[in-house]
Structure 1
Amino acid sequence: MVGFDASDDAAVYKISADTAMIQTVDFFPPMVDDPRDFGRVAASNALSDVYAMGGSPRLAMNLLCFPSCLPLDVVGEILSGGAEKVREAGAVIAGGHSIEDREPKYGLCVTGFAHPSAILTNGGAGEGDLLVLTKPLGSGVLTTAAKAGLLDEGANRAMVELMAQLNKTACETMLPLKPTACTDVTGFGLLGHVEEMARGAGLTARLIASAVPTAAGALELAREGIIPAGAYRNRDYLAGKAFVDGGVPLDLADLLYDPQTAGGLVIAIPEARSRELLRRLAGAGVVAAVIGQMVRREEFNVTVGV
């Protein structure tokens, strides 16, 4: 049903008339110091692709790389953190694979399921649909600052919990309201992933920068030049595809390109159902905001106004 050709979040294989299997894999090196937190965040990030497709994770396999000098109790904490999030998702870990490597890396191969008619792709939005973001931006800037020792304990904990928060509640809340498309915000940043949505739909995503929620402290750090290298790569890649109005403050513009770890969902939904979606998300404890709208195709796939 869904393959590699559309830059979607996961592969989807139709098993029967009422069951589709969703398959995804994701792993990376540590972005936080605490090994258990690393496992939690990496698992949250890997599980997110299933939620972005409108599915429920059911099975996960550990992917682990670690040097022989790494104490086994540290490895155990990484795996324990991952298992915590898999349990929270309602899935089970059924094994995995580990290899020796110079740098620790961890993640999951995740299998989920959904009804074939409920599968969401990143390219199904219609003209006039509103775009709803379910997590604030800034995890790339914040993790860069944390590595440089620029975050206090409270800010660091808030950053970790933001990334470790599953997109499970957001997914379960949106599905009854029949969104038309969905993706999650990860390494290509908000603009990169919204550009994929617009391109897939043959439309232009018109975003309002001032409506985009940002994580506490992220704007101030961006203003000080604490920008990850991935943000510059995203900006270069989107040249000619995305246009950001010159009136958008530079610090906010930087966050639009900021690569996210376990970022929120971007949900496309008809305007008539958007207010109810926001109401239900708020009631479920998900801080969400309308950040833009899909419009008829223009010169750029994404435009960002003030």
Structure 2
Amino acid sequence: MAVTGLVHPEQVIGNNGAQPSDVLFLTKPIGNGILATAIKAEMISDASYQEGIKWMTMLNKNAAAAVEKVGAHALTDVTGFGMIGHLYEMALGSQVEIEVYADKVQIIEGAREYAEMGLIPEGAYKNRSYLQDKFLSDEDVDSAVLDILFSPETAGGLLISVAEDKVEMLLEAMEQRQCSCFTVGRVLNKGFTPIRIRNF
């Protein structure tokens, strides 16, 4: 598959411009990879199924327009590498450390319960294995949440690294467009690990 289009050279936002003291936001809850595994196992509830469909069919167009209006240092979407995998790419490209607040990340209804039951996609294990020496996680981080953080996503939300003085403007722009947007972490000076996962 190829996607072609036109973009103004001064309006390109890559995933490699995050700066220390930036605040990290995500525009959709995660966990649809877990739900997909529950579907395959024929164990998903109708409520969780409908919730997963709602988020997977929601476009990132309006959220992207909000980011374009306000500006951001770095931007990427969450797909096959999982949230932590894509944050690692951002940290590596930006030469920074990223601190993830595991207990602040919103999770699609039902996904945590299915993860606790062991319904974890193979891709989550592969992502975690690849990143095993590239992150540190505090002991009190919930194991099911950690599994979800590494789980592949389909049509995931946007990960946004924005300056502290633009946070309120970003949240206002998202609200105007009826987009969800929540804090998931912050950017630090480069340390001895690209990703640190802890509770807020």
Residues 142-161 of structure 1 show CA distances to partners (whole Å, capped at 9, x for unaligned) of 01101111123332122122
Structure 1 CA distance for aligned equivalents of residues 107 and 51 of structure 2: 13
Q: What is the identity percentage for the equivalent residue pairs of Structure 1 and Structure 2?
A: 36
Q: Secondary structure at the match of 1:221?
A: helix
Residues 203-258 of structure 1 show CA distances to partners (whole Å, capped at 9, x for unaligned) of 00011111111101111111111100100001100011111111101011111101
TM score, norm. by length of structure 2: 0.96
Structure 2 CA distance for aligned equivalents of residues 240 and 154 of structure 1: 37
Any residues of structure 2 matched to 1:1-306 within 5 Å, and which? 25=1, 109-306=2-199
User: Which residues of structure 1 form unaligned runs of 5+?
Assistant: 1-24, 26-108
Q: Secondary structure at the match of 2:169?
A: helix
Residues 169-189 of structure 1 show CA distances to partners (whole Å, capped at 9, x for unaligned) of 110011111101100000000
RMSD: 1.0
Contact 2:102-2:198 within 8 A present in 1 as well: yes
**Post-superposition offset of 1:126:** 1.1
Contact 2:62-2:179 within 8 A present in 1 as well: yes
Residues 25-51 of structure 1 show CA distances to partners (whole Å, capped at 9, x for unaligned) of 3xxxxxxxxxxxxxxxxxxxxxxxxxx
Structure 2 CA distance for aligned equivalents of residues 148 and 291 of structure 1: 30
What amino acid maps onto 2:174 in structure 1? L
Q: Secondary structure at the match of 1:171?
A: helix
The count of aligned residue pairs is: 199
> Which runs of at least 4 in structure 1 moved beyond 2 Å after TM superposition?
152-155
TM score, norm. by length of structure 1: 0.63
Contact 2:32-2:52 within 8 A present in 1 as well: yes
Structure 2 CA distance for aligned equivalents of residues 138 and 176 of structure 1: 28
Q: Secondary structure at the match of 2:18?
A: coil
User: Which residues of structure 2 form unaligned runs of 5+?
Assistant: none
